[in-house]
Structure 1
């Protein structure tokens, strides 16, 4: 009887291991603490329950400047539905440039300046801008974009995430 159970036990262990390895695991957004430009402390975990777009950008980045009006429209379109954009200016950006751009464009979302490079490091060492992370309501990273995303695709992913 015991000899018959050993092969069955081995098969069960192999199946469990295979299932564990084949089931996709969610990469979770870091539990990042940051300050907004107006010095309010906030953490990504406080935004759980919302779909969050974390956008690393710089005022010297032409791609960032090109995509920013679209990000403004997306925030305006989905903000009342549980969506939040967090724009994190890179460490090397200059605060007066960030402030001037924010005032000029009337950016309707949370803005932070990553002066200590902690946010970029927490997201795996972001070096290129724009780099954008779409985060689901549960804090899981749904998509990472390096470069300007296709805005129609991004909106479709936001809409899908808002429905879940």
Structure 2
């Protein structure tokens, strides 16, 4: 029985060492944005490689989502505020959103940025199985996901973070 007493402390120590190693390798490192391909409403084909050197705001939304519709003027204002400074926005309509509704919304609201319809759900899947809308990703110039917002972001804090990311080399 005495020989078993050391097993629990040894297992605890091993878990701490493994956890510490994992944390040192992963914490503070941003996940790379997936290499998505998409088609914009105007028929233009695009992909994430075109985001290189830009700060990107990728917003998953739906016309049936009241929070999405409510926050869209703030998304537009954010785009307008930073668009001349290596910043861009992509609005990704969810696969269940009727394409005619998306096109009508984009046209009637004069969305000043690219709008893609995720017909197959593949873009949402590649971004970590996005299911809730709105879900917004902020990606730095190196293509790393810096922040994921589920629900409406605090836009003042978002703008502050965009400023910081734009200032990075």
Counterpart of 1:55 (choices 34, 53, 59) is 59
Tell me how far apart the structure 1 counterparts of residues 99 and 158 of structure 2 sit (CA, whole Å).
28
What per-residue deviation string (whole Å, max 9, x for no partner) do you get for residues 102-138 of structure 1?
Answer: 1111000010000010100000100000000000000
The runs of 4+ residues in structure 1 deviating greater than 3 Å are 17-21
Work out whether 1:145 is the aligned partner of 2:149: yes
Q: What is the TM-score when the length of structure 1 is the normalising length?
A: 0.87
Measure the CA separation in 2 of the matches of 1:37 and 1:92.
16
SS at match of 1:116: coil
Task: Report the secondary structure of 1:81's partner residue.
Answer: coil
Q: Residue 9 of structure 1 corresponds to which residue in structure 2?
A: none
- Residue 112 of structure 1 pairs with residue 116 of structure 2: yes
In structure 1, runs of 5+ residues without a counterpart are 1-14
CA shift digits 1:15-48 (9 cap, x unpaired) = 9x96674153220000001110111111112111
Give the Cα–Cα distance (whole angstroms) in 2 for the partners of residues 25 and 73 of structure 1: 29
Q: Distance in 1 between matches of 2:75 and 2:40?
A: 17
What's the TM-score once normalised by structure 2's chain length?
A: 0.84
- Tell me, which stretches of 5 or more residues in structure 2 are unaligned? 1-16
Structure 1 Cα separation of the partners of residues 81 and 105 of structure 2: 21
Q: CA RMSD in A?
A: 1.6
